[in-house]
A and B are shown apart, each in its own frame.
Chain A
Amino acid sequence: MRKIGIFMIVILALVLGGCSSSDKGKAKDNNSQVDNVKEPNSEGEDKIDNFAFKYNNIEMAIDDEAKEILDKLGEPMDYFEAPSCAYQGLDRTYYYNGFEITTYAEGEVEYIASILLVDDTVTTDKGVYIGSSVDDVIKAHGEDYEVNTGQFTYTKGDSQLQFIFKDDYVVSILYTKII
């Protein structure tokens, strides 16, 4: 009896507390905001080096806190917000001349989830723009990319830089968080 009792107590203890370390990186409980993306860097952790886009000397990287960047950029031309299917967070999109920034929220803080370049008035840090050729992209960003149908994807830290081609010319450039 005593052995069985001890065994059961151990099992319950393991189930209730012993697995907590395995929770890292998994989705939060469903009563909380959906989050199976990685947590933004908290203090004391090394900042992950993600892809960054620069506009008028304002640099913005994936997972950066959005507020300071949005303040520097000034009033957007347009704004759109979209709750998820079950309202687990709100994605916000800020429209600027030549690019769009989409953010995600962790609690009260917004972080940059993606930056989409929409015309040829803006370029990547290596000078690629909408209308550049496949060769231009490889020359500028190198050969360390993955190819999917009509798309090159470069990966850095927790971010990706995606180029979509049509007839061998870039039609879309997207910096995005890896989800």
Chain B
Amino acid sequence: MSKKIITNTIAIIIFVFIFFFLQRLLMPKYMSEIFEGNLIEEYYKSNKDHDVIFLGDCEVFSNISPASLWEEEGITSYIRGSAQQLIWQSYYLLEETLKYEKPQVVVFNVLAMKYNEPQNEAYNRMTLDGMRWSKSKIGAIKASMTEGEHFIEYVFPILRYHSRWSELTGEDFRYMFGKKPLSHNGYLMRADIKPVAKIPEGRPLPDYQFGENSYYYLDKITRLCKDNDIELILIKSPSVYPYWYEEWDKQMIDYAKENDISYINFLEVVDEIGIDYEKDTFDGGLHLNLSGAEKFTKYFGEILTNDFGLQSRKDDPVLASVWNEKLEYYNWMKKDQMAEIAEYGKLISYGAPAQAQ
């Protein structure tokens, strides 16, 4: 009898091991393209001592450089950004982040207000698969699922990715149990240049009012920050596309006023920041490149220091050591990208080929 129990237990353990091994193997690794899929999980390896947490979509993870913010102002920060991050995902990511640390300032990019409903499974996956299991992750999944998605497929991603068998590459085996960081505290570096050729006019919309669901989660973010004595700053990052309507801007101005928080539309001060859309974007104005991100970060850093009272922590030897290491990697990547651009006339790695498709 006892022999049978032992044998069955061993069999079950082997089954569970194979199941999770296959699951790890089949999940996308995002290491050679679509780096954005890694951003959320990279946070857990950080030292979680950040003065500022940035939340939002590509307008934060492409446009703001925490390494530069440290270098310029001695402010520690992390971008909990992800591709097309929806506002309920930002809320749950903030809720989760506050379990690890308590920043002085939270910055939320308001472009996400335009999405009132769940949008797209692939983008959901890039945000949600990387989250560690918690009440926040469960909430984020439930709020994000599109029609046809199932909660169980988030619990056991193998149910979703089983058909990747035929697409497996060396990358899937190499990064099964560990990945090198691709971002710099959530910032995805791109040093190449593609000037703005045209800025499309906004198409007429039937209704410019942001949706109730968007406001519901903005209220929750605001309340969560207030309850934790955190300064919330709403921003519109200086990307010229997608179009940011005046009607939307007014709603954010009004919201900030009503809730006694700050809202800064950086599109209105691009000249003051010094952004040159001929040189400071890598994809025609959607995202800033490295030089654009460093200019924007420098400008924003001065605001954080002068208007919000954040102080330099460069005198802290432990932090200085951590950040010097980060700066070393940041500067190495900057040099590597510049060298690649000099050699080939364009960036041929770092996600650039995927963009060119």
Contact partner of A171 (CB less than 8 A), chosen from B19, B125, B204, is B204
Q: Is the CB of B122 within 8 A of A1?
A: no
B34 to chain A, nearest CB (A): 5
Contact partner of A86 (CB less than 8 A), chosen from B83, B158, B207, is B83
- Does chain A have a CB within 8 A of B323? no
- Does chain A have a CB within 8 A of B22? yes
Q: Is the CB of B148 within 8 A of A86?
A: no
- Does chain A have a CB within 8 A of B181? no
- Which chain B residue has the least Cβ–Cβ distance from A166? B204
- The CA of A87 and the CA of B164, in the complex, are separated in Å by 20
Q: Is the CB of A29 within 8 A of B167?
A: yes
Contact partner of A15 (CB less than 8 A), chosen from B36, B158, B204, is B158
- Which chain A residue has the least Cβ–Cβ distance from B353? A87
Q: Is the CB of B121 within 8 A of A27?
A: yes
Q: Is the CB of A15 within 8 A of B34?
A: no
Q: Is the CB of A29 within 8 A of B207?
A: no
- Does chain A have a CB within 8 A of B322? no
A122 to chain B, nearest CB (A): 16
Task: Give the residues in chain B near A32, CB-CB below 8 Å.
Answer: 167
- Does chain B have a CB within 8 A of A164? yes
- The CA of A89 and the CA of B227, in the complex, are separated in Å by 41
- Does chain A have a CB within 8 A of B154? no
Q: Is the CB of A86 within 8 A of B22?
A: no
- Indicate with 1 or 0, residue by residue over A122-150, a CB within 8 angstroms of chain B CB atoms: 00000000000000000000000000111
Residue from A8, A17, A29, A172 with most neighbouring chain B CB atoms (10 Å): A29
Q: Is the CB of B197 within 8 A of A80?
A: yes
Given contacts A28-B122, A34-B120, A36-B120, contact A83 B206 (CB under 8 A): no
Task: Give the residues in chain A near B207, CB-CB below 8 Å.
Answer: 148-151
Q: Which of A1-43 contact B (CB under 8 A)?
A: 1, 4-5, 8, 11-12, 15-17, 19-20, 23, 25-36
Q: Is the CB of A31 within 8 A of B286?
A: no
Q: Is the CB of B163 within 8 A of A23?
A: yes
Which of B's residues lie within 8 Å of A, judged by CB? 4, 7-8, 11-12, 15, 18-19, 22, 28, 30, 33-34, 36-37, 57-58, 83-84, 120-123, 125-126, 146, 148, 156, 158-159, 161-165, 167, 197-198, 200, 203-207, 209, 241-242, 283-284, 286, 351, 354-355, 357
- Does chain B have a CB within 8 A of A178? no
- Does chain B have a CB within 8 A of A55? no
Q: Is the CB of A12 within 8 A of B146?
A: no
What is the predominant secondary structure among interface residues of chain A facing chain B?
mixed
Given contacts A20-B163, A105-B357, contact A85 B57 (CB under 8 A): yes
A75 to chain B, nearest CB (A): 15
Total A-B Cβ pairs within 8 A: 133
Which of A's residues lie within 8 Å of B, judged by CB? 1, 4-5, 8, 11-12, 15-17, 19-20, 23, 25-36, 78-90, 93, 105, 116, 148-151, 162, 164-166, 171-172, 174
List the 3 shortest-distance A-B pairs measured between CB atoms, nearest first. Answer: A151-B206, A86-B83, A27-B121
Q: Is the CB of B355 within 8 A of A87?
A: yes
- The CA of A35 and the CA of B121, in the complex, are separated in Å by 9
- The CA of A26 and the CA of B149, in the complex, are separated in Å by 8
Contact partner of B159 (CB less than 8 A), chosen from A15, A29, A171, is A15
Residue from A85, A164, A174 with most neighbouring chain B CB atoms (10 Å): A85
- The CA of A34 and the CA of B203, in the complex, are separated in Å by 23
Task: Give the residues in chain A near B161, CB-CB below 8 Å.
Answer: 29
Task: Give the residues in chain A near B146, CB-CB below 8 Å.
Answer: 36
Q: Is the CB of A33 within 8 A of B162?
A: no
- The CA of A70 and the CA of B274, in the complex, are separated in Å by 38
- Given A29-B164, A36-B120, A86-B58, 8 more A-B residue pairs with CB atoms under 8 Å apart are A12-B22, A27-B125, A30-B30, A36-B121, A78-B198, A79-B197, A86-B84, A90-B355
Q: Is the CB of B205 within 8 A of A85?
A: no
- The CA of A1 and the CA of B8, in the complex, are separated in Å by 6
Q: Is the CB of B84 within 8 A of A15?
A: no
- The CA of A27 and the CA of B18, in the complex, are separated in Å by 26
Q: Is the CB of B163 within 8 A of A86?
A: no
- The CA of A49 and the CA of B132, in the complex, are separated in Å by 45
Q: Is the CB of B22 within 8 A of A16?
A: yes
Instruction: Offer 22 A-B interface pairs, CB within 8 angstroms, sorted by A.
Output: A1-B11, A8-B12, A12-B15, A15-B158, A15-B159, A15-B162, A31-B167, A35-B122, A80-B198, A80-B284, A81-B284, A83-B355, A84-B84, A85-B58, A86-B34, A86-B84, A86-B123, A86-B126, A87-B354, A90-B357, A105-B357, A162-B206
